[in-house]
Structure 1
Amino acid sequence: MNAVVIAVVVMLLLSLLRVNVVFSLIAGALAGGIIGGLGIEGTIGAFTDGVGGGANVALSYAMLGGFAVAISSTGLPNVLVEFILKRVGTKGESRSKKLPRALIILFVLLMACFSQNLIPIHIAFIPLLIPPLLKVMNELKIDRRLIASVLTFGLVTPYMLLPVGFGQIFQGIIADNITQSGLTVSIDDIPKAMLFPSLGMLCGLLIAVFFSYRKPRTYDDAVIAGETEEVQGYSASGVIVSIIALIGALAAQLWTDSMVFGALIGIIILYIGRAMKWNEADELLTAGMRMMAFIGFVMIAAAGFASVMRETGHVEHLVEQAASLIGGNQVLGAFLMLVVGLLVTMGIGSSFSTVPIIATIFVPLALELGFSPMATVILVGTAGALGDAGSPASDSTLGPTAGLNVDGQHNHIWDTCVPTFLHYNLPVIIFGWIAALLV
């Protein structure tokens, strides 16, 4: 009985039963650690050692949350919301038409895609832009599961396909680990290979937009903290300072490779530019940190979960078990490799961390089964990317939930994780599987 499989199943089942994700991760880690032979003390020790690895990410998201709320107070998001409102139309008129709905979806999609490559701020834009748009989306009766699917697509697909921003990092990890495992590949080959699973992501997005969530869904116009009935006022100077703060935060993040210091520089610029009042700063920053606290705790728990899984040694054992079942069957081999990648990423919550774990076994196994070098890259890349959409511990699902659930009407598991899992992982497996067999 494999500890990784048991741990992931326990975590997912508890999450689906609406048990808090943090507690589900802890319970899954405990079950996996005990079955993996670590015992209770060993499991607790491994989990405790691992949670420190998630502390930096948690602090990063807390700082980004504070920065996002501080930026919101300057009026910049209201400028963008007002821009959208003018094109959506007045209540009861053009807002009932399909064009305003399409504009909202397109706007969210572009912002999500840009956050991975053009302006690599990852999920930091979500608490900045999504909450102010909720009232408009409520009026248009847009299903928030659709917006969650659109956001997750934009957070995942660009780094899979495009070799810039986070995509350069992810594709570099794939190329380096495949090369170290015995198959020399160029990073230029990765976008060609990742085109196939990316088409699977696109297929899932189109199904979500035009079929699954095209019907209207009604939400209550609940009060959102810090929001008023009308679009808040703003000053030109505040907007200018906030734009400078965003540029400064991005530059600092790229220079230091730290979201913490990037957010800090942005906040300092807001202070210096007097776009944020000193006597209101503590309340604003605390509110922002509170908004992102859930993500932080999940990332800390996920780091402990991943540490326990690694300590058991059953991740490698899972890959070896899959290899022993395959024999010389390419069809079965490709499918099992993708399923193993899905299980590992669903538990760890990070595609970037999955690739180094699976590449060492998958590369020699794929070559032994007679897969071409390109097919091998497709298998490793697709197996690594699988699970980022749909994992309760992934920031690609936690980010959308943080923005869509500010009024308590969007469930993380049933409204973000389940929809994104069904719409993206299933077609990605199919596209990656077929591509590996045909290339």
Structure 2
Amino acid sequence: MEGSVIHWVGAVIGLVLAIVLIFRKLNPVYALFAGAIAGGLLGGASIEQTVQIMIDGTSSVMGAVVRVLAAGVLAGVLIDSGAAERIAETIVAKLGEKKALFAIALATMIITAVGVFITVAIIIVAPIALSVGKKIGLSKTALLLALVGGGKAGNMISPNPNTIAVAKGFDVDLAQVMINGFIPAVVGLAVTVIIAKMLSKKGALVSDTDQADDTEDKKDKPSFGRAMVAPIVAIALLALNPIGSILNIEVLKAIKIDSLIILPLAGIIGLLAMGKIKHIIAYTTSGINKMTGTAILLIGAGAIAGIISKSNLSAVVVDAIEVMGVSGTLLAPIAGILMGAATASTSTGSIVAAGSFGGAILNMGIPPLNAAIMVHTGATVIDHLPHGNFFHVTADAAKMNIKERMKLIPYESLVGLSMAIVATIIYGFLQ
């Protein structure tokens, strides 16, 4: 089954069908499976070939799935112990009301960067943001943009499902993806704050009913220092090998510990530091439950990525780019943008883009790490469309109705686009 056995039209129809089914509220995994089956059959493959291609596609993402599930240990510890909330509260309190939007964006960025899934990070910081916004008269539009933009920036440098997915998709080191995503992330944070300040008085203000009841959830949260132990350990261990490579230190270069080991280990060390090791079963159970949905979604993404990768779609896109006179370097961010929009998910979009266009991107002479960064940032440009759960979860977090939430989409896209442009300049045109 070598080469393109599926016509690109069938693959595209399958992808469109998956999007329509997601819009119709079918479970995204089943929608992706249905789209993959339709794409294979309509593209000219037999039933047997279609099933085998789907299985091969899901097999290709198993490494990412296992690492995402392992990351649940760290996520569960940070969230359920109150560590993530303590970190957010401290950042906002230290920076003060005059820098409220920057503080909110930075807090969400850091919470996401240390391993909390972006939607959960926004849910954690949102009550703090609404409280500050109510006090100083900031609009909910500005507050949510600060939350979303900060989360998107943090996603570029985090050991989260999206980064794990793109690293595995291009077979590069997770820590290298995180480190090289730093400059785009900083640019994304800056653009977020600038736009949020422009929107600070536009849109509905925070009302009394939008705020959470202060009497609820009085859990015993750790000190800021203890809350930071788990993320510091995780980042330090992940950075050992890349730092060794950068500084040419043989001892550090020889240390190759996978995130599959590092992230759970960091979570356990964090528990010990916070004196909450007795909660290990409860926190890890909660963590894996939080990651299961994403892990299963990646399997669905692998199925449809398998179909697209066995079609001639990437060749058609490359030909179109050449006809238009556009640089082939742009294929990486364009693939990320298109697949991020199609799946309304950074992690799923990254997997589909890597699986579908990875070969064509690398054939243009782009190094795997550079390709991973450009696809990753591209996937953040339009990953917040209404057929994904991110759109609805963030609307609920900021107490917004759908109409208000829709108005934020162009501004979110500007944040993602700024990161994609910077990444493409640095890792595409300047390389």
TM-score tier, shorter chain, comes to 0.5 to 0.7
Please, which moves more after superposition, 415-424 or 354-363? 415-424
1:299 aligned onto 2:298: yes
Give me the CA root mean square deviation.
5.3
Note closer, same or farther for the CA distance 1:317–1:2 as it changes in structure 2 (3 Å cut): farther
The answer to whether the 8 A contact 2:109-2:155 is kept is no
Alpha-carbon contact 1:7-1:28 (below 8 Å) kept = yes
Q: How far apart are residue 259 of structure 1 and its match?
A: 2.6
1:182-235 deviations in whole A, cap 9, x for unaligned?
xxxxxxxxx9xx99x999968964675245685346575569xxx972653345
Give the Cα–Cα distance (whole angstroms) in 1 for the partners of residues 321 and 204 of structure 2: 46
Unaligned runs of 5+ in 1: 90-96, 116-120, 160-165, 176-190, 364-372
C-alpha deviations, 1:235-270, integer Å up to 9, x for none?
56xx66654444444455455453321232134435
The corresponding residue for 1:30 is 37
Between the aligned partners of 2:372 and 2:65, the Cα distance in structure 1 is 28
Structure 1: how far apart are the matches of 2:39 and 2:296?
20
Distance 1:246 1:135, change over 3 A: same
Shift of the 5–286 alpha-carbon distance from structure 1 to 2, 3 Å rule, reads same
Cα distance, 1:415 vs. partner?
Answer: 7.2
Select between 424-433 and 25-34 the one with higher mean Cα deviation.
424-433
- 2:248 paired residue number: none
Q: Using the TM superposition, give the Cα deviation of residue 383 of structure 1 relative to its aligned residue in structure 2, in angstroms.
A: 7.0
For the residues of structure 2 that align with 1:203 and 1:245, how far apart are their CA atoms? 27
Q: 1:424 to 1:38 in 2, by over 3 A?
A: farther
- Equivalences for 1:155-170 in 2 at 5 Å? 155-156=155-156
User: CA separation of 1:411/1:146 partners in 2, compared to 1, >3 Å: closer, same or farther?
Assistant: farther
Tell me what 1:387 maps to.
379
1:349 partner SS: helix
Give the conservation status (yes or no) of the 8 Å contact 1:149–1:205: yes
The match for 2:66 among 59, 73, 78 is 59
Correspondence for 1:215 among 203, 209, 227:
203
Aligned mates of 1:271, 1:379 — CA distance in 2: 36
2:65 and 2:295 in contact (8 A); partners too: yes
Instruction: Look up the equivalent residue of 1:77 and give its one-letter code.
Output: A
Aligned to 1:370: none
Query: What is the CA–CA distance in structure 2 between the aligned matches of 1:69 and 1:32, rounded to whole Å?
Result: 37
Equivalence for 2:414: 423
Secondary structure of 2:30's aligned partner? helix
Distance 1:419 1:244 in 2: 37
Alignment partner, residue 282 of structure 2: 283
The CA distance in 1 between the partners of 2:10 and 2:29, in whole Å, is: 19
Given residue 314 of structure 2, which amino acid in structure 1 is its aligned partner?
A: E
State yes or no: 1:313 paired with 2:311.
yes
CA shift in 2, pair 1:9/1:424, >3 Å: farther
Contact 1:145 1:419 in 2 (8 A): no
C-alpha contact (below 8 Å) 1:3/1:309 kept by paired residues: no
Is 1:358 equivalent to 2:394 in the alignment?
no
State the TM-score, normalizing by the size of structure 1: 0.61
More displaced, 332-341 or 10-19? 332-341
1:39-188 equivalent positions in 2, closer than 5 A: 39-84=46-91, 86-87=93-94, 99-109=99-109, 115=113, 123-124=115-116, 126=118, 130-139=122-131, 140=133, 142=140, 143-144=143-144, 146-156=146-156
CA distance in 1, matches of 2:198, 2:98: 14
Tell me how far 1:138 sits from its aligned partner. 3.0
1:262 is aligned with what amino acid? I
Give the letter aligned to residue 216 of structure 2. Answer: E
- Gap change, CA 1:264 and 1:127, over 3 Å in 2: farther
**Equivalent residue letter for 1:232:** K
Rounded to whole Å, the distance in 2 between the matches of 1:75 and 1:380 is 33
Unmatched tracts of structure 2, length 5 or more: 1-7, 135-139, 173-179, 240-254, 343-347
Cross-structure match for 1:187: none
Do the aligned residues in 2 keep the contact of 1:241 with 1:273 (CA within 8 Å)? yes
Contact 1:47 1:307 in 2 (8 A): yes
Distance 1:46 1:273 in 2: 47
Change (3 A) 1:71 1:6: same
> What displacement does 1:284 show?
2.3
Structure 2 CA distance for aligned equivalents of residues 315 and 360 of structure 1: 15
1:322 matched to 2:310? The reply is: no
CA distance in 2, matches of 1:198, 1:205: 10
Secondary structure in structure 2 of the residue aligned to 1:153: helix
Cα distance in structure 2, aligned partners of 1:221 and 1:80: 20
In the superposition, relative to structure 1, how do residues 356 and 86 fare at CA in structure 2: closer, same or farther (>3 Å)?
closer
Alpha-carbon distance in 2 for matches of 1:355, 1:17: 27
Matches within 5 A, 1:265-284: 265-269=265-269, 275-278=275-278, 280-284=279-283
Q: Is the 8 A contact 1:341 1:354 kept in 2?
A: no
Give % identity. Answer: 18
Indicate the SS of the match to 1:2.
Answer: helix
Call closer, same or farther: CA 1:384–1:58 in 2, change over 3 Å. closer
State the alpha-carbon separation in 2 of the partners of residues 198 and 135 from structure 1. 24
1:33 Cα deviation after fit: 1.7
Per the alignment, residue 6 of structure 1 pairs with 13
Q: Indicate conservation of the 8 Å contact 1:345/1:384, yes or no.
A: no
1:343-391 per-position Cα deviation (integer Å, ceiling 9, x unaligned): 356566226667742335656xxxxxxxxx9xxxx99986775334334
> How many angstroms apart in 2 are the aligned matches of 1:4 and 1:87?
51
C-alpha distance in 2, partners of 1:250/1:419?
32
| Cα offset, 1:417, TM superposition | 11
Give TM-score scaled by structure 2 length. 0.62
Are the counterparts in 2 of residues 253 and 259 from structure 1 also a CA contact under 8 Å? yes
